[in-house]
Chains A and B, each alone.
Chain A
């Protein structure tokens, strides 16, 4: 069975602060993919990043960075120097190679950046 846990339900930070969103996953598959999506108030899920289970290299994209650690089954997301436009709900998701190729989502973390 696949499971994604985002223990942080809501986080508030002041603009320009750094913030890390946690994601812990469970799967018995050795090959799998991890994703982060952003859902702004408009409601549309926006793809941010995809990682496969064989690539543990951390990734940085502008103010966003991701830390993938198989040893702890975690795929954490850090926003550096947060901005008000970062306010959204962020979802971590897992796709394994077995089953219907669907995504298993965490419950999401609502991030509010206060100006």
Chain B
């Protein structure tokens, strides 16, 4: 497909376990973003990748959260030692770039994470 894809669509895990969420951006898009959507916090920015530059991690809520982007394409968001407050929908977005005219972000369907 031509859009942003994410997997899994749903994930149920036990408190304390690690989880990995995957995002496949639109082909040719150099910028990739992770957001989290939860009832109490709305839509929050987590981390941003642009090309080969170091990621901007300013939105990560704790050091249990990390992300990587291999080959400038697919990204994995990892949550270690999950807590119940990590339960949310994790959304990935990509854009052609960050310059004027390139900055529109297109979102994937999200991964719904439930920590029991």
Contacts and interface: CB of A to CB of B under 8 A. Distances in A.
Given A44-B110, A107-B42, A101 B50 contact: yes
Contacts of A104: 45
A51 to B, nearest CB: 11
Interface centre among A45, A95, A99 (most CB of B within 10 A): A45
B108 interface: yes
Residue among A44, A50, A91, A102 with max Cβ neighbours from chain B (10 Å): A102
A47 B33 contact: no
Interface residues of B, number: 25
Nearest to A6: B42
A29 to B, nearest CB: 13
Given A43-B110, A44-B107, A44-B108, A101 B31 contact: yes
Contact of A95 (B50, B59, B103): B103
Contacts of A105: 42-43
A108 B42 contact: yes
Interface residues of A, number: 23
A42 B100 CA distance: 30
A100 B48 contact: yes
A102 B104 contact: no
A42 B89 CA distance: 12
Interface string B92-116: 0100001010011111111010000
B48 A101 contact: yes
Nearest to A44: B109
Given A44-B108, A47-B104, A100 B89 contact: no
Contacts of B103: 33, 50, 95, 101
The 4 A-B pairs with the shortest beta carbon distances in the complex, nearest first, are: A102-B45, A45-B107, A105-B43, A100-B56
10 contacts: A35-B104, A43-B89, A43-B112, A44-B107, A100-B48, A102-B48, A102-B59, A103-B35, A103-B93, A103-B105
Interface of A: 33, 35, 37, 42-47, 50, 52, 91, 95, 99-108
